[in-house]
Amino acid sequence: MSNQELPLTDVTSPLCEVTPLARQPLTPQAATELAAVFKALSDPVRLRLLSLVASHTGQEACVCDISDGFDVGQPTISHHLKVLREAGLLSSQRRGSWVYYRVEPAALQQLSTLLDITSPDGVLR
């Protein structure tokens, strides 16, 4: 089972097309898909878990390295990591008995694009 990808239930379509909110309103479909991502980020534990993975070398971390320091048990940590995977923010891979999580850069780039408040010429709006 080494190096086997874990199955993902993808709530969002892979990278729905978005333009910055300051330039064009979201389509109903994009709003629905992005709401799932923001909902995943709205929990402080999930936000910290994403930050812990993103701050590790290569934006990848073993679950054993990121589960300490929380006031919740391992099953709850696993649930939160699953929510982040389903939102498309993390991917995971089993290596032996451990699961490694990595940030999905395209998902973070999509959020960055959405929240960009500069005009096309680079001036803040």
Give the tens place of pLDDT for each residue, 25-78: 888 998 898 899 999 999 999 999 999 999 999 999 999 889 888 999 989 999
Gap between the Cα atoms of 21 and 38, Å rounded: 14
Task: For domain 27-115, give the fold.
Answer: Arc Repressor Mutant, subunit A (1.10.10)
In the block, which residue shows the tokens 């991917």?
91
In the block, which residue shows the tokens 């679950």?
63
Backbone angles phi, psi at 108, to 5 degrees: -70, -35
List the strands of the sheet with 4-5, edge to edge.
4-5, 90-95, 98-103, 60-62
